[in-house]
Chain A
Amino acid sequence: MSGAPHPPPKPASADDTAFKRELVALIPHLRAFARTLTGDPTAADDLAQDAMMKAWDARASYQMGTNMKAWSFMILRNQFYSEKRRSWRQSQLDQEAAERTLVAVDDPEAPVALDELRLALNTLPEEQREALILVGAGGFAYEEAAAICQCAVGTVKSRVSRARKALQATLEKGGFARDGRAAGDAMRSILAAADRLSSARQG
């Protein structure tokens, strides 16, 4: 099956080669975005693979030199919502996915604060979460995020702002905290971890 030798592929067009190279470079970002959308590593990789294929199939409609990251993120996002509309057992998934995500990141290096943040993220309405991720983590400008989400720039701005407030409130409340940690600990550990991270980055 997979052991068969590959015949030398026909020379691909230069555009295809360049496109493929860019697409491959984007895979890690697509995976990250997918995981924040689905909250589940396995479903996320399925989604990212589907999106990657959709992008590949649509390569003729992509203009080289434009923002391929935003373009591919938009494809992934559309794929996510159309699949969800079609078939996903949504409400169950959210709960289970949150659990599994925690297991998936269960490595000794991962600070507690990350888990808290993930849980808190999962309490946000979807459109706020994606806006915050795109702008706050994915490095997209509001305009790009608006293009990806196919909504107005002002809408993205207000979603991000509401997401930030809600996230902070949730973390401070600590209402989602497991294993009996006192309220407020989540925010405190995030503050401490952020301190460590930013000094490590500068150092």
Chain B
Amino acid sequence: MTDNSNPPGKPPKGGPGLEEARLRQQAIGVKLRHMFDEIVNEPVPDEFLDILRRADERSSGGSDA
């Protein structure tokens, strides 16, 4: 019959520290994804596609210019 695990005024063992740590980890996670996504969303430099196109031409036996 124990009700909520948070009796007022008495934080559970490990208390607000744990909750706070979870929040912080969550925040770090959000930032981390954001940081990564930011790079993902950058426009891809033309070089990449140029290189791939040249490789493609080479491998499909295209004439070497």
Contact = CB atoms under 8 A, between A and B. Distances in A.
Contacts of B25: 164, 168
Contact of A171 (B28, B47, B56, B57): B28
A190 B31 contact: yes
B61 interface: yes
Contacts of A20: 52, 56
B39 interface: yes
Nearest to B39: A32
B56 A117 contact: no
Interface stretch (A87-95, A129-137, A149-157): A129-137
Chain A interface residue number, banded: 35 or more
B51 A114 contact: no
A9 B34 contact: no
Contact of B48 (A32, A49, A168): A49
A133 B32 contact: yes
Contacts of B53: 6
A187 B33 CA distance: 16
Interface of A: 2, 4, 6-7, 9-12, 16, 20, 23-24, 27-29, 31-32, 35-36, 45, 48-49, 52-53, 56-57, 105, 110, 113-114, 117-118, 132-133, 136-138, 164, 167-168, 171-172, 187, 190-191, 193-195, 197-198
Interface of B: 21, 23-42, 44-45, 47-53, 55-57, 59-63, 65
9 contacts: A20-B52, A29-B40, A53-B51, A56-B52, A114-B38, A137-B35, A168-B28, A172-B24, A191-B24
Give the 8 A-B CB pairs with smallest separation, nearest first: A194-B27, A137-B36, A32-B39, A194-B30, A10-B60, A28-B40, A137-B32, A191-B27
